[in-house]
Amino acid sequence: MLLPDYKKARSRGHEEVQKEKYEIPKKYEKIGKGKTYYVKTYGCQMNEHDTENIKAMLEQLGFSECDSYENSDLVLLNTCSIRENAHNKAFGMLGRLKHLKEENPNLLVGVCGCMAQEEGVVKEIMNHYRFVNFVFGTHNIHRLPEVLYESIHEKKQEIEVYSKEGNIIEDMPVKRANSFKAYVNIIYGCDKFCTYCIVPYTRGKQRSRAMDDILKEVKELISEGYQEVTLLGQNVNAYGKDLKDGYGLSDLLEEVAKTGIPRIRFMTSHPWDFTDEMIDVIAKYDNIMPSIHLPVQSGSNRILKLMGRRYTREEYLTLFHKMKERIPRVTISTDIIVGFPTETEEDFQETVDLVEECKFDNAFSFIFSPREGTAAAKIKDDTSEEEKQERLYRLNEVLNNYFLMNHQKMVGSIVPVLVEGSNASMKTSLYGYTDTNVLINFDGDTSLIGKIIPVKITEAKTWSIDGELVKETSKE
Ligand code: 5AD
Ligand code: SF4
């Protein structure tokens, strides 16, 4: 048994991160033979991508995927800790699984992901969710076969969570959710320690993957026909800071662009690490999509300081306008937290003012959620829940207005769209994303799915646009 320890998770050692190759030991190869699995994923793209590795590992063990958890032999929850809401959802699901397990005692239940890295969560599972068979964390996903084997053969609750990140594991198997767009990890962990955020504890210290390994993966994806890669990390702009070869995100973006993959996206960016070189590279290459997610979190300098964000409102705005000037057609989206401890109506108004200046193309807005172990969770807060809800409502009104306004400006133009799928109910109704990352619906044949085609925009809505096919051969 190996339990999470926040003290260790918080520390940042200088030991060098090594590369390790994933190999599945022979003795585990048949433990899932004839059995089915279901993985429920909560949280961000990082977790979604981990699930792609987890699914492939389970299939190497002989399991096959089932589309409902009620009929599966193994149910694994890949959890998220970012806000209480995600936490509650996972525990709600565990409640349902408890009933299922009473009916079917052979059901195997596992918990992994960010919540598994939390001391309090693991204690709760040990004390009140004894039916959970196994738990592993974000640093030892590659140990899934061993952990599962132990829990089955020792007939006990097996808990193995590393508190400190280990090496970077290369060549993990992957079962991608999509056959034309793919996630590629470029950096793990985060060293920023924004005071509200649990991620530096659950995902460990910043570790970049070697550029050669990333390029190898992208080239393989190209040979398999992939059209789009999203380079992933908690803070992709810190890419390379821990490497000895002096590469940064701008170098990596340039090299990935040169592979010729039609579309490159990256997320998430911290404004503090965004350099001029990065902006120049994004502007220079047509296959780097002109769409940047740039979380601002607050428009008040006092709150930004309390959040430990390392930039001022003015610095954010300078960067924002520089991007808009230098990158043609760029869209910028953001994340905003309202109701951070001690936030006053004046602080909140500064956030609204900033939104009015930036007119964001998209945004995710949240009410502050105290996370155990983080610095912000200790700040006394006397704003009522009602007041916070009200601020969120007011902020969303302003944000939504700009989404619609920006979409209206697109009407009449022709944009490249990667067709992602069809709306199940209507056979001819396709959807996809523009290069600027706007969801678009239009009529067309399902044979277009997976292709990049020009679409003319006909109507604007708040969260999407409508369009029609342009009679032209596809760009592909
Ligand atoms: N409470 C509310 N929102 C949070 N986020 C991160 N931590 C918290 C928290 N404790 C938001 C931030 C971040 C996004 C992924 O989630 O806005 O950018
Ligand atoms: Fe949730 Fe953050 Fe973990 Fe992603 S990294 S799953 S957002 S806690």
Question: What does the DSSP 8-state code read for residue 147?
Answer: H
Q: Which ligand 2 atom is the nearest neighbour of the CA of 203?
A: 5
Q: Residue-wise pLDDT tens for the chain (476 aa)?
A: 888 888 888 887 777 777 888 888 888 888 999 999 999 999 999 999 999 999 999 999 999 999 999 999 999 999 999 999 999 999 999 999 999 999 999 999 999 999 999 999 999 999 999 999 999 999 999 999 999 999 999 999 999 999 887 789 998 999 999 999 999 999 999 999 999 999 999 999 999 999 999 999 999 999 999 999 999 999 999 999 999 888 999 999 999 999 999 999 999 999 998 999 999 999 999 999 999 999 999 999 999 999 999 999 999 999 999 999 999 999 999 999 999 999 999 999 999 999 999 999 999 999 999 999 999 999 999 899 999 999 999 999 999 999 999 999 999 999 999 999 998 766 569 999 999 999 999 999 999 999 999 999 999 999 999 999 997 554 44
Q: Is the CB of 108 under 6 A from ligand 2?
A: no
Cα(83) to ligand 1 centroid in Å equals 7
What pTM value is reported for the model?
0.94
CA distances in angstroms from 40 to 52, 111, 116, 183, 319, listed in the order given: 11, 10, 14, 18, 38
Domain 6-160 fold: Rossmann fold (3.40.50)
Of all ligands present, the nearest one to the C-alpha of 294 is 1
47 lines ligand 2 (CB under 6 A): yes
Instruction: Tell whether ligand 2 has an atom less than 6 A from the beta carbon of residue 199.
Output: yes
414-474: which CATH architecture?
Beta Barrel (2.40)
Cα-to-centroid distance, 44 and ligand 2 (Å): 5
Domain made up of 174-408: CATH architecture: Alpha-Beta Horseshoe (3.80)
18: nearest Cα among 162, 184, 207? 207
Q: Where are the domains of the chain?
A: 6-160, 174-408, 414-474
Contact 180, 227 (CB under 8 A): yes
Joined together, the tokens standing for residue 180 give 């034309």
Q: How far is the CA of 17 from the centre of ligand 1 (A)?
A: 28
From the CA of 116, which ligand is nearest?
Answer: 2
Long-range Cβ contacts of 240-247 (<8 Å, 24+ apart): 240/208, 240/211, 241/206, 241/208, 242/17, 242/205, 242/206, 242/207, 242/208, 243/208, 243/210, 245/211, 247/211
